[in-house]
Amino acid sequence: MLETEKGHLLSPATLLAHEFEHGVDAETNYEQYKADAKTKVPSYGNENERKVITNEEQDIAKAHGEIGNDEVTRTDHGGVYVRIMYMTPKQIERYIRKARTEKLDESGLVVGTN
């Protein structure tokens, strides 16, 4: 699991899908993929990372309930890995949901919405 600079937790499923998208990009247009790999982009490292993080990663994290519609996972290629050995997918999902609920409660985004 990855904790991003925005404080969001990305599940192994989201991280795997991120890597899968690199494969899709390479399969779709290998020449472009190679050119993007050589194109340096501040914070993201290169253009391939910027493309996946700012596009597919957002849709995937939203679909997995890891960010809200008005949030972004991160604005860089960084993060801190959170060790989750021996956790089942359901336990990971609960962990992310609990952390997210507590974070939203702290920021007042969810409390008192009526």
Q: Give the binding site for Zn ion (CB under 5 A).
A: 49
Q: Report, in Å, the least distance between residue 87 CB and Zn ion.
A: 23
Distance CA 12, CA 56 (A): 15
Cβ nearer to Zn ion, comparing 58 with 103: 58
Question: Which residue's CB atom is positioned nearest to Zn ion?
Answer: 49
Give the 3-state secondary structure of residue 55: coil
Q: Report, in Å, the least distance between residue 22 CB and Zn ion.
A: 5
- For 18-60, strand residue ranges (E) read 40-41, 45-46
Q: Report, in Å, the least distance between residue 31 CB and Zn ion.
A: 19
Cβ nearer to Zn ion, comparing 46 with 103: 46
Helix 12-28, helix 30-38: angle, nearest 10 = 120
| 20 touches 52 (CB < 8 A) | no
Cβ nearer to Zn ion, comparing 36 with 49: 49
Cβ nearer to Zn ion, comparing 21 with 100: 21
Q: Report, in Å, the least distance between residue 18 CB and Zn ion.
A: 5
Q: Provide the 10 A C-beta neighbour count for residue 2.
A: 18
